[in-house]
Amino acid sequence: MKGWIALVAGLLFGLGLALSGMTSPDKVIGFLDVTGPWDPSLAFVMGGALLVAAPLYFYTSRRGEALCGDSLGAPPSQTIDRKLIGGAALFGLGWGLAGLCPGPALVDLLVRPLPVGVFLTAMIAGLLLSRRD
Amino acid sequence: MAFAPADMIQPLAGGALIGLSAGLLRLGTGQIAGISGIVRRAIRGPERGWQLAFLAGVLAAGAMAAWRSGEQLAAGLERASLPMLVAAGLLVGLGTGLGNGCTSGHGICGLARLSKRSLLAVPTFMAAAALMVFVRRWGGWL
């Protein structure tokens, strides 16, 4: 059950990314290029996502457990530390360099296997080096 | 600014699908749809079943999208150099590992549940990314 829900969620996630424009580095760089010919359209991706996700998250919290009966895990950590800010900053620099973040890279893998494969290999190396768990 | 109101329809619809996916995963399984964390768990475990199913769904969506829109899907990637992709990939991997989330984990799931950490992480990575693009623009390698 859990696997099927995850499969459908992954499918919706990938289709949403492809439709949104997030899979194109040109589009992403255009969104980040605030001192150039700025293209704000990608701001609506986060807007649209939050509009749908926030009520579902809220309802799930009120419910207290997932439909499959699993717990919702610990509430979000509140710890603000240098790792959080430094990590977010490093991630942003990489995102602005290639115009790719993890989800869109996976969606692009089959259309551009070589460059995306190189990016994902380096990303996974960084991910595994950055922590033990 | 390069923008017409009709340009917001696809980002909005795509975003709504992403939000539906994150909400479905949360409501159905209690899990968070953060791609960097899902990739890390799928490789390192200890639990990797649903993560692999999710990633299979994303890749299948990629195949459908590639079939429909071809190389337009990844427009701009054809100009990327391999050393730059290695550097960017390392930064993205290290950064999302240390900061515990990327555009999806912090940007959507974290904000959807009003996590204090995500409320700080999102403007931080947005600003760093815009700074990188600013430097590239003025350095002449955009």
CB within 8 Å: A130 and B53: no
Residue B110 lies in a domain: yes
Residues 6+ apart with CB under 8 A from B142: A29, A33, A36, B133, B136
Planar angle of CA A132, A125, A121, nearest 5 degrees: 150
Per-residue pLDDT of chain A (133 residues; tens, 9 = 90+): 899 999 999 999 999 999 999 999 999 999 999 999 999 999 999 999 999 999 999 999 999 999 999 999 988 888 999 999 999 999 999 999 999 999 999 999 999 999 999 999 999 999 999 999 9
Tell me if the bond preceding B46 is cis, omega within 30° of 0.
yes
- Quick check: B65 contacting A, CB < 8 Å? yes
Please identify every stretch of chain B with a pLDDT value under 70, giving residue numbers as ranges.
1-3
Q: Alpha helix locations (H) across chain A?
A: 2-20, 25-32, 43-63, 82-98, 102-108, 113-129
CB within 8 Å: A92 and B126: yes
**Chain B residues with CB-CB distance to A62 below 8 A:** none
Q: What is the ipTM of this complex?
A: 0.96
Residue B5 lies in a domain: no
Interface of A with B in 114-133 (CB under 8 A): 115-116, 118-131, 133
- Quick check: B39 contacting A, CB < 8 Å? yes
From CA A96, how far away is CA A34, in angstroms rounded? 12
Give residue A28's pLDDT: 98
Give residue B6's pLDDT: 83
Tell whether the torsion through CA atoms of A109, B104, B33 and B101 is positive or negative: positive
- Quick check: A113 contacting B, CB < 8 Å? no
Biggest alpha carbon distance in chain A?
49
Could you give the angle at which helices A82-98 and B82-99 cross, rounded to 10 degrees?
Answer: 160
**Chain A residues with CB-CB distance to B16 below 8 A:** 16, 48-49, 51-52
Its domain, for residue B50, covers: 10-139
CB within 8 Å: A91 and B62: no
Number of domains in chain B: 1
Of all residues in chain A, the one with the smallest CA distance to B22 is A53
**pTM reported for the whole predicted model:** 0.96
Residue B111 lies in a domain: yes
Domain layout of chain A by residue ranges: 2-129
Residue B4 lies in a domain: no
**Chain B residues with CB-CB distance to A81 below 8 A:** none
CA distances from B26 to A101, B19, B40, B118 (A): 22, 11, 19, 17
Interface of B with A in 85-124 (CB under 8 A): 85-100, 102-104, 106-113, 115-118, 120-122, 124
Of A46, A107, A94, A15, the C-alpha closest to B75 is: A107
